[in-house]
Structure 1
Amino acid sequence: MEKKHGMLFLLVLMLNVAAVLIGLWFYSAQLLSSSLLLWLFIPDCPLYVFLCILMLLGKIKSETLNLIIAASTLKYGLWTILVLFFYGTYYFSPADILMYSIFMLGHIGMAAQGFLLLPKETPKAAIFLLLAWFLLNDFADYALGAHPSVPIAHVRQIALFTLALSFSIAVLLPLLQKGAHSKHVQSLRSMLF
């Protein structure tokens, strides 16, 4: 029996579509000036939000792929929130304050969505695959230059933070999953999805 989705679900889908379009606009100049080989690694946030749309619509059946999508959505949502917060003077100039304030709110929603979409359980092999995917992305970002605009003077710090975030999510995944499937969070999940 197919689940009927309500207006809240449709709102989540529409917000996701808007986020993908805004994200692709944001990354368009970087994509056009980069090698096609890096395109998979440049628009992290819009890519994972797009894949969340496919997950929500039931188009992705692989449990491992669902894990990678949900955990990556959580990672890049958190990454953006924290980088914007800690380097606010770089991002929140008078000319850009509105745009980055909207980005901050959107990425809070993105991180929450990734958390809510985490599967209940994951085989250990899938966690290692997730970590390998995270590390490949981190390598592309900081060794090949696929990362978004960040303060040049702090690239090394941000790269180390990114690695720490990758390992933290992989190591803490069982706890995150337990939290995502707790009774209180489960009621929110059923309301939205």
Structure 2
Amino acid sequence: MDKLLKHRAIIWLLLAVNIPGTIYGYIWYGNQLAYTAAHYPGWLLPFVPDSPTASLFFTLALILMLYPPKTVTGVSVRAVIEALAVVTSVKYGIWAVSIIVAGGYQGGPVDWRDWMLMISHTGMAVEALLYARFFICRKMIPVALLWTLLNDTVDYSFGVYPWLPATLEDDVLQVQIFTFLLTLVSASAAWLASRDVRLLRQRAEQ
């Protein structure tokens, strides 16, 4: 299984899915980005498109698997990107599905676009967990955790969190609590799914 997942053809296939998906994700956030630009300080814009940015991190992580950097700085940057890719992809993959289901449970409509989003976001979380064991990100997971907590804090302090289904607009506090808890769970899952690079090197030398 590991050999199949690390095959360059499979990685290129994932890139062929993730790159258009990332672009579509930013387009999906277009209205909220425009609204934020018109009503909020410009520095908040990077905190708006959560899911496509997570997908972007994972896309970059796949590219760095294909073309690993050789310098110390490059390796460090790779580790940070991989950590962000795993933590945020797991977090926002689960978050999006949960919010759509919660909105539908409270009586909101769930159409084909919502099903498409649930399938794609489930894929985000699954692929991140599958590839975490090939990444060198374990030491940088605390950095990814801090960044994601910062993103959560900005989202709910300034009101730039992803727009919710109408049925959840009176449940923002509950969504906020769920979001922060999910960040902690996602970082823990990333830690468990990743491997200690030192152990891998020791096994390779044996």
The interval holding the TM-score normalised by the smaller chain is 0.7 to 0.9
Gap regions ≥5 residues in structure 1: 179-193
1:69 aligned to 2:72?
no
Structure 1 residues 112 and 92: CA distance shift in structure 2, 3 A: farther
**Aligned mates of 1:52, 1:91 — CA distance in 2:** 33
Counterpart among 185, 191, 194 of residue 168 in structure 1: 185
State how 1:54-93 maps to structure 2 within 5 Å: 54-58=60-64, 61=75, 62=77, 63-89=79-105, 93=109
Which entry has the higher C-alpha Rg, 1 or 2?
A: 2
1:136 aligned to 2:153?
no
Map of 1:32 onto structure 2: 34
**Aligned mates of 1:166, 1:142 — CA distance in 2:** 14
Secondary structure of 2:194 counterpart:
helix
Secondary structure of 2:29 counterpart:
helix
**Aligned mates of 1:5, 1:139 — CA distance in 2:** 38
Map of 2:8 onto structure 1: 5
Q: Is the CA contact (8 Å cut-off) linking 1:138 and 1:163 kept in structure 2? A: yes
**Aligned mates of 2:108, 2:127 — CA distance in 1:** 25
> What amino acid does structure 1 have at the position aligned with 2:112?
L
**Aligned mates of 2:106, 2:30 — CA distance in 1:** 20
Structure 1 residues 176 and 91: CA distance shift in structure 2, 3 A: farther
Deviation at 1:56, TM superposition (A): 0.9
**Aligned mates of 1:14, 1:121 — CA distance in 2:** 23
Map of 2:19 onto structure 1: 17
Q: Is the CA contact (8 Å cut-off) linking 2:48 and 2:155 kept in structure 1? A: yes
**Aligned mates of 1:5, 1:76 — CA distance in 2:** 26
1:42 aligned to 2:48?
yes
* TM-score, length-scaled by structure 2: 0.73
Q: Is the CA contact (8 Å cut-off) linking 1:48 and 1:73 kept in structure 2? A: yes
Map of 2:117 onto structure 1: 103
**Aligned mates of 2:96, 2:21 — CA distance in 1:** 14
**Aligned mates of 2:95, 2:130 — CA distance in 1:** 17
**Aligned mates of 1:91, 1:129 — CA distance in 2:** 38
Q: Is the CA contact (8 Å cut-off) linking 1:92 and 1:100 kept in structure 2? A: no
Identity of aligned residues (%): 26
Aligned residues between the structures: 171
Deviation at 1:121, TM superposition (A): 6.3
Q: Is the CA contact (8 Å cut-off) linking 1:71 and 1:115 kept in structure 2? A: no
**Aligned mates of 1:91, 1:13 — CA distance in 2:** 36
Secondary structure of 1:117 counterpart:
helix
Secondary structure of 1:73 counterpart:
helix
Q: Is the CA contact (8 Å cut-off) linking 1:52 and 1:70 kept in structure 2? A: yes
- CA RMSD for the aligned pairs? 2.4
**Aligned mates of 1:172, 1:73 — CA distance in 2:** 11
Q: Is the CA contact (8 Å cut-off) linking 2:51 and 2:93 kept in structure 1? A: yes
